[in-house]
Structure 1
Amino acid sequence: MSTAFPPDFLIGAATAGHQIEGGNVASDCWALEHVPDTVFRHPSEDAVDFYHRWREDVALTADLGLQALRFSVEWSRVEPEPGEFSRAALGHYRRLAATCRELGLRTFVTFNHWTTPVWFAAEGGWTNPAAVDRFARYVDVVAAHLKGEIDWAITLNEPNVATVAAVGGGGVGGSAVGDLARALEHASRRHPSGQGTFTPMMLWEGDQLGRYTEAHRRATEVIKSHVDVPVGWSLACVDYQAVPGFEDRAAEVRNQALTSWLEVSRDDDFVGVQNYTRRLVGEHGVQKPGPGVAVDDLNWEYYPESLANAARNAAAVSGRPVVITEHGVCTRDDEQRIRHTGQALGHLAGAVADGLDVRGYLHWTLLDEFEWFSGFDVTFGLVEVDRTTFERRPRPSATWLGGVAARKTLR
Structure 2
Amino acid sequence: MANDTSVVLDAHSPNSPGSLADPFTPPADSSLWREDFLLGVATAAYQIEGAVHEDGRLSSIWDTFSATPGKVLAGDTGAVACDHYHRWEADIDMLAGLGFQGYRLSIAWPRVMDAAGVPNRKGLDFYKRLLTRLKEKGITTFVTLYHWDLPQHLEDRGGWLNRDTAYRFADYADLMSRELAGTVDAWATLNEPWCSAYLGYGNGHHAPGLANERFATQALHHLLLGHGLAVPALRANDPASQKGIVANVGRGTANSNSAADQRAAQLFEVQHNAWILDPLFKGEYPQALFELWPGAEPLVLDGDMRTISAPLDFLGINYYFRTNVASDGAHGFTDVPLEGVERTQMGWEVYPDGLRDLLTGFKENYANLPPIYITENGMASNDQVTDGKVDDTQRISYLKRHLAAVDQAIKAGVNIRGYFVWSLMDNFEWAFGYERRFGIVHIDYTTQQRTLKRSAELLAKFLKERKAQAS
User: TM-score range with shorter-chain normalisation?
Assistant: 0.7 to 0.9
Taking a change above 3 Å as real, the CA distance of residues 4 and 206 of structure 1, as seen in their structure-2 partners, is closer
Question: In the alignment, which residue of structure 1 is the partner of 2:272?
Answer: 257
Distance 2:334 2:128 in 1: 42
Counterpart contact for 1:132–1:215, Cα < 8 Å: yes
Counterpart contact for 2:44–2:106, Cα < 8 Å: yes
Report the residue type matching 2:339 in the other structure.
P
Counterpart contact for 2:44–2:147, Cα < 8 Å: yes
Larger radius of gyration: 2
Taking a change above 3 Å as real, the CA distance of residues 342 and 138 of structure 1, as seen in their structure-2 partners, is same
Gaps of 5+ in 2: 1-26, 54-58, 282-310, 384-391
Matches within 5 A, 1:7-406: 7-25=35-53, 26-41=59-74, 42-161=76-195, 204-228=215-239, 229-243=241-255, 244-245=257-258, 246-266=261-281, 267-284=311-328, 285-318=333-366, 319-333=369-383, 334-406=392-464
Pairwise CA distance, 1:102: 0.9
Distance 2:110 2:196 in 1: 21
Q: Deviations over 1:294-339 (max 9, x none)?
A: 2111110011222222322333334221100000011135110001
Question: In the alignment, which residue of structure 2 is the partner of 1:195?
Answer: none
Distance 2:427 2:336 in 1: 25
Pairwise CA distance, 1:263: 2.6
Which region of structure 1 is more displaced relative to structure 2, 376-385 or 76-85?
Answer: 76-85
Pairwise CA distance, 1:95: 1.3
Match of 1:205, SS state, is helix
Report the residue type matching 2:358 in the other structure.
A
Gaps of 5+ in 1: 185-198
Pairwise CA distance, 1:391: 1.4
Distance 2:413 2:270 in 1: 25
Counterpart contact for 2:263–2:327, Cα < 8 Å: no
With normalisation by structure 2, the TM-score equals 0.76
Taking a change above 3 Å as real, the CA distance of residues 50 and 84 of structure 1, as seen in their structure-2 partners, is same
Report the residue type matching 2:45 in the other structure.
G
The answer as to 2:30 corresponding to 1:3 is: yes
Taking a change above 3 Å as real, the CA distance of residues 95 and 288 of structure 1, as seen in their structure-2 partners, is farther
Counterpart contact for 1:33–1:40, Cα < 8 Å: no
Q: Deviations over 1:341-370 (max 9, x none)?
A: 101111211221332210100000000100
Match of 2:122, SS state, is helix
Counterpart contact for 2:31–2:37, Cα < 8 Å: no
Identity of aligned residues (%): 31
Pairwise CA distance, 1:128: 1.8
Counterpart contact for 1:112–1:155, Cα < 8 Å: yes
With normalisation by structure 1, the TM-score equals 0.87
Match of 1:352, SS state, is helix
Question: In the alignment, which residue of structure 2 is the partner of 1:189?
Answer: none
CA RMSD between the two structures? 2.6
Which region of structure 1 is more displaced relative to structure 2, 239-248 or 349-358?
Answer: 239-248
Distance 2:272 2:30 in 1: 31
Q: Deviations over 1:192-215 (max 9, x none)?
A: xxxxxxx79x99534233212211
Taking a change above 3 Å as real, the CA distance of residues 214 and 105 of structure 1, as seen in their structure-2 partners, is same
Pairwise CA distance, 1:88: 1.1
Match of 1:323, SS state, is strand
Taking a change above 3 Å as real, the CA distance of residues 402 and 274 of structure 1, as seen in their structure-2 partners, is same
Pairwise CA distance, 1:165: 5.4
